[in-house]
Structure 1
Amino acid sequence: MDNKKEIITTSILTCPNCGNQKEEEMPNESCQYFYTCIKCNFFMKPKQGHCCVFCSYGTVTCPPKQMENKCC
Structure 2
Amino acid sequence: MSGVIAKSTITCPQCGHQSTDEMPTDACQWFYDCKGCGAVLKPKPGDCCVYCSYGDVKCPPIQAGRACCG
After TM superposition, is the score higher than 0.5?
A: yes
| Pairing partner for 1:24 from 21, 25, 30 | 21
Q: Following superposition, which runs of at least 4 residues in structure 1 exceed 4 angstroms of deviation?
A: none
Aligned length: 69
TM-score w.r.t. length of structure 2:
0.94
Question: How far apart are the structure 1 equivalents of 2:15 and 2:39?
Answer: 8
| Coordinate RMSD, CA, aligned | 1.1
Q: Give, as a single letter, the amino acid of the residue that structure 2 aligns with 1:30.
A: A
TM-score w.r.t. length of structure 1:
0.91
Partner of 2:41: 44
Consecutive unaligned residues in structure 2, runs of 5 or more: none
Question: How far apart are the structure 2 equivalents of 1:38 and 1:31?
Answer: 19
Give aligned-pair identity as a percent.
Answer: 51
Consecutive unaligned residues in structure 1, runs of 5 or more: none
1:24-72 deviations in Å (ceiling 9; x for gaps):
0000122111001011001100000000000000000000101111110
